[in-house]
Structures are given as C-alpha cells and as structure tokens.
Structure 1
C-alpha cells in the first residue's frame, strides 16, 4: 500500500463493508474512480477507428490492446478482406494496427473490432 497512499494522507474512498470479527473497515480507493471500461464505453462509438497493439493470437481471434486497461477482439473474418485461416497470416504480436469498433458491450465488458474495415479494399477483393 505504501505505493498508493502515505500514513497520515487524507483520501476519499468507498466503504465496502465492516469486518466485525477483526474490527476493520473494508474500503476501496478504486471505487471512487470510474470503471475503466465504463469510461471507455462512454467515449467510444461503433464505427470509430482506433489504433491498438496486437497482444495475443489464438486459433481464430486476435486480441488488440486499445488502452492500458482495455483490450478488444478481432475475429478471423475481421482481419482482412481476403480469406485467412489463422490470424498469424496477417498480424503478429506486437504489431500496431488500425481497427474499427464494431460493438461495445458494457454489460459483458467486451469490445468487438474489425481490422478489415480499417483497411482500404483493393480492386481484386471487390470481385
């Protein structure tokens, strides 16, 4: 805790519960700040283009970190205009990519993204 607060420092916090066995109050400093996802959802719109860094590739999706606390998912069909069988065919962990927000679900704290929508479509892909 010494990295967060100092002895004698005045802080605002949220009361969580009182532990009668140990005679201790449970408090939350984080509870006074807006939840990171809620703040993200309030200022992010479907159709918005964002920059992010690919953090993980799994069988079909790729995960892209949008902010320090928020990661979104790009499904396989959203990675490129052409058909790909695995995310590693078009992106690698560490790549910085442009993505378009296709869905923000505040209840489930999920963000769906499309890299494909952020890419120009070539003539060959239109046929």
Structure 2
C-alpha cells in the first residue's frame, strides 16, 4: 500500500470526493502493457505513478485489442467514467469504454438465433474458433460446431483469415457472448 491518509492527504481527499459514474477528463501520460495512466485535470499528482487515473486494457474499448496503443497515445486528451477508488495504489480506476455505446448491445437487438451470418475467422483456440461477424462483434464456434464430422483441432477445418458462413445459436446480451455454428450453416448431412 502506498500510504495512508496522513501521508497523502490531498490525494486521499480528492479520490474520496469522486462518485461512481462521474466523468473525469485528463491527459494520457504513460502507456504500459497492463493499462494507461492518466493525469486528471482536477486532481493532484501521484507520488509514484505518472498519473492519478488508471485505465486497465479491458476498460479502453468494447473491442478486443492487442495493446493499449491501439486505442490511445501519450498526450491524448480523454474523458472517462470513474469506476472506483483503488485504495491500495491510491488511484482512480477509470473506464474509457463506458463513455461509448456498446456495439454488442446494438448487434444483439438486431439479430435473432437461427440467422445466417458471414464472417472472418479471427482466432483459433483449443475448443473452437472466434469469428468476427460485424465490426467489433465476435462469436465462438465451438469445436463440435465447426463441421459435421468430428474435429480434433480447429486448424483441421479453418484458418485465421478464412471467410465462413455461420448460424447464430445463442445470444447472451448480459454476458456479451455470441455462440455460432458453422455446421448448421452448411447444407452437408451428418
């Protein structure tokens, strides 16, 4: 822990005054592999970090990203939603994605199970393949749904970059999960 109230009274007072959901503005001061530090406009400096605000990589974007630098750059102005006061690191945990509409919700509102979609394979995992069916929208085709015949590994039937046709088998808007079937989209029989 970085110290109690007595060691950093101005910082403690500032962080305790912020309410969940409040919008805070600042400047990106450093990009790390685990997230982004932000110097908040109205906040004091931090005793160790290059900013009192911090955005973890998952909170940068609704889309899956490889690195924080895919979304922000040092010196960029950002407006973020306050999530919580991290009393261990004495920082404001922030979300950039909370200030943007969730593309999955809009997608889920317009798609029903059973609908055929076209997409591109983006990632292979031991249990299946992820397919991007809309901008920023990916779904999982489980191993057993890749083909009518049993498949040991996804690379037996698809590769990253392949264009495929899939059927929506489940939409879980709350958990932001889309389940797809390539098998049901094909006209082959078992």
TM-score of the two chains, using structure 2 as the length reference: 0.50
1:106 aligned residue (173, 177, 188): 173
Q: What is the aligned residue count?
A: 108
RMSD (CA atoms): 2.6
Structure 1's unaligned 5+ residue stretches are 1-14
Gap runs ≥5 in structure 2: 1-20, 25-39, 45-78, 82-95
2:135 paired with 1:68: yes
Alignment correspondent of 1:22: 43
Q: Tell me which of the two structures has the higher relative contact order, counting C-alpha pairs closer than 8 angstroms and 6 or more residues apart.
A: 1
Superposition pairs of residues 30-109 of structure 1, within 5 angstroms:
34-109=101-176
8 Å Cα contact 2:80-2:99 kept in structure 1? no
1:16: how far off? Answer: 3.0
Q: Distance in 1 between matches of 2:165 and 2:156?
A: 17
Task: Answer yes or no: is the 8 Å Cα contact 2:113–2:170 preserved in 1.
Answer: yes
User: Take 2:97 and 2:150, find their aligned partners in 1: how far apart are those partners?
Assistant: 43
Q: Secondary structure at the match of 1:117?
A: coil
Structure label with greater radius of gyration: 2
Choose 31-40 or 56-65, whichever is displaced more: 31-40
C-alpha spacing 1:95/1:20, structure 2 compared with 1 (3 Å): closer
Alpha-carbon distance in 1 for matches of 2:97, 2:145: 35
1:22 to partner: Cα distance:
2.6
